Amino acid sequence: MTAQTKETDARILIDDQLRAAGWTPADKSHVLTEVLVTGGVLNVAEPNTRATVLTTADGDMVPTGRADYVLLDQRGRPLAIIEAKRQAIHPYVAKQQALPYAKQIGAPFIFLTNGELIYFWDYQNDDARIVNSFFSRRDLERLVHMRAERKPLATVEIPETYLRQGETRLLRPYQKEAMQALDRTVELGKRRFLIELPTGCGKTDLIVLYIKRLIQAGHAERMLFLVDRDQLAKQAIEAIQDLLPGYSSYWLKPGMVRQEKQITVCLLQTMIGRYPEFTSGYFDVVVMDECHRSIYGTWQTALSYFDALHIGLTATPAIYIERNTFQFYHCKDDSPDYSYPIQEAFREGHLVPYKFATGITNLIAEGASVDDEHYDPAEFERKWTNEASNRLMMEEFDRLAWDTFKDLAPGQKTGPGKAVVFAITKHHAARLAHALNDLHPEHKGRYAEVITSDVADADDLIRRFKQESLPQVAVSVGMLDTGFDCREVLHLVMCRRVRSPILYQQMRGRGTRTAPHIDKRKFVIYDFFRNHEYFNDSDADVFSGSGGGGYATKPKQAGGKTARELIELGLEDEWLDAVHYIEVGPDGERVDKRDYVTDWEQTVRQEAEADPIIAKVKSGEPLTEQEETILAQRLNQPQRYFNEDNLRRAYRNPGGNLVDFIRAALGMLKIKSREEKVDENFRAWLVAKNLTPEQAQYLALLKNRGLVKGKVSLDDLFAPPLSILNAAGVGIELFGEQGLKAMMDEINQSVLVA
């Protein structure tokens, strides 16, 4: 095969990729090909013509005077040139060939590609970097506009106060410091940033105010706010619409039509299926909340697809953050770019301290096996709690809460103040709520409410818990332990065993928020399962995993699972994979996963014709936000309780969303080939790395070998075809011996897992 035809192959791929980014290669008002560059004038080259050698104004030689592609703006002016190489050639080497063309015709951007790898080069500001797709005309025009309007961040004042939910709040010193640290990063051209702030320290407010700052300085126009829980999405969109009323924003839900607004809030689980609808230049900033859970496998593909300023937020102390997260955010020495220790937050009064209730019944014996809890919570519940112990726990908590609430918050008018109870299973939650309501018959069953994904309108219940006097107590499993924000909480009741240090700190964080309007001074943790003893946590010596408390090692996870596997599922201490049943409904009825999936698929197929919204999904039409909400509510009804949470567990698919599960039931879900999945994983993994072009090209070789064999090993380097290329010698030269082994491990774990 000639070099020419190989380049032609690359061009077929390039044309397809341009169409995917909204360009029309055949339309001369969009794209010019084979362009002669003569004195700044564009001419389409005649076949087999020879171009004269030119020089640009600053003396760069134009070797052939011919550009492969020129992308034009709406007024017909050059926006970018594309230099195409055949696949055997690494595109980065074409930089010096492409630069004089771009300068000569005044195109501000350059793409270098061989059909497999694409480099984007904003040559006046940065070096070329790998991206996942070509940018659209709108993306490039936006970049040109922002370059012209941009001003130094130092010229935009950091506010002293801001208005939130109708009250004036002071910007705290650490929030200012974090903004200043971000400013320095942006001005230096670092494109990834990781912030660690304890739960309750206002991460969302901080980042929304910083987004406003970036817009004002002309550094950003379009933002993506990614989260991994519905509760976090609701809080993010509320904060954005409260703090940035002048900017358009929306929550992109599964199946919904994409809107052209400045700020998009989206669940990572939704974006996994939808990121190909966007170009990789669509967003200027991508914020990932609770980012320590999001840097693995499929998750990473959706996150690193976007060529943007990436800001990661986490409340998890550095000792528990996996190295992949630090690598993704280009952090030095496995430490965040900015962190604010929890001990300082307590000392400086930005978080409310806690104490443990003493003299309460302890239910758990040291002999309990970790596997009991991890693999079958129902077994654990049966073994360690019964009707008598459930009542005893609730009686002790209720009595102490009524005795102490005025000391905890003198301004709290209704007793005993807001409380969150953490249960083992949905069945257990129902029993605990029942016991509490029996203690307060005057409230007719409304004193304590179960809040799980199976509640018909969980959002309304959460709103009532936050804003009205009843319910006083929210009982939950897995729904309120992370991402739930209610400042008035005075009591946290741990009626379950916790062995994940991350989850323990998240749960404890539900009580740490300040609430001056009730003069909140302290909150109480009622730990019936002695979790704080396991973590050596006390009010005098706060457990944070990085000094304080005595528990500073990463524990071995249950059942031999690695921390990485558990975090990838977003499940520290929960159970998606191992048990054969799911719990549904208010009493936590146990249903076999296979039966649940069968029932779901039959229901969807039966309703596909009669239900107009499911019919829309079937015909591939996007839904409105209202239709998406109606559909979710209608499916989440007794007896079946079909909702995303239950379907993810039943399908063992933590990344699925409601529309995906409907498509699966209708047999419409296009299953990607292994090669497609591996290629996607590989591109996402490459983008997340800081690699030289030679290293990237070498790793592409290893990936292709892994596709053939299923995995890569050192032995492959010494056998044909890799041995012919001296792959062992080249690899050691590029990465060092240990580095090469580490890269192979990562390719096997992160890329070839498809």
pLDDT in tens, 557-577: 333 334 433 343 344 334 455
CA angle 540, 542, 543 (to 5 degrees): 140
Averaged over successive runs of 10 residues, the pLDDT of the chain (754 residues) comes to 57 91 94 77 46 41 69 96 83 88 94 90 92 96 94 93 91 96 91 92 94 95 92 92 96 91 93 90 94 65 90 83 78 88 94 94 67 68 89 96 97 96 93 97 96 84 93 89 85 90 87 95 96 89 62 40 39 54 86 92 90 91 89 86 88 80 86 76 80 85 86 87 87 90 86 73
pLDDT at 64: 52
End-to-end CA distance of the chain: 32
Spatial separation of the C-alpha atoms in residues 660 and 702, rounded to whole Å: 33
CATH superfamily for domain 153-340: P-loop containing nucleotide triphosphate hydrolases (3.40.50.300)
Spatial separation of the C-alpha atoms in residues 38 and 62, rounded to whole Å: 10
Cβ–Cβ < 8 Å for 36, 70: no
Spatial separation of the C-alpha atoms in residues 214 and 641, rounded to whole Å: 43
pLDDT at 707: 84
Cβ–Cβ < 8 Å for 128, 95: yes
pLDDT at 644: 87
Which of 643, 639, 661, 642 lies closest to 651, judged by CA? 661
Spatial separation of the C-alpha atoms in residues 404 and 400, rounded to whole Å: 6
List all residues 6 or more positions away from 334 whose beta carbon is below 8 Å from its beta carbon: 318, 321, 323, 326
Give the distance, in angstroms, between the CA of residue 230 and the centroid of all CA atoms in the same chain: 12
CATH number of 3-137: 3.90.1570.30
pLDDT at 140: 98
- Look at strands 118-121 and 129-131 and give their pairing: antiparallel
Q: What global pTM score does this model have?
A: 0.85
Q: Tell me which fold the domain 354-568 belongs to.
A: Rossmann fold (3.40.50)
Fold equal for 3-137 and 354-568 = no
Cβ–Cβ < 8 Å for 322, 336: no
- Look at strands 118-121 and 109-113 and give their pairing: antiparallel
Spatial separation of the C-alpha atoms in residues 167 and 40, rounded to whole Å: 57
Query: 261 in helix, strand or coil?
Result: coil
Residue 83 backbone phi and psi in degrees, to 5: -100, 115
Domain ranges of the chain: 3-137, 153-340, 354-568, 592-665, 674-751
pLDDT at 724: 84
Within 517-666, strands assigned E span 523-527, 581-584, 589-592
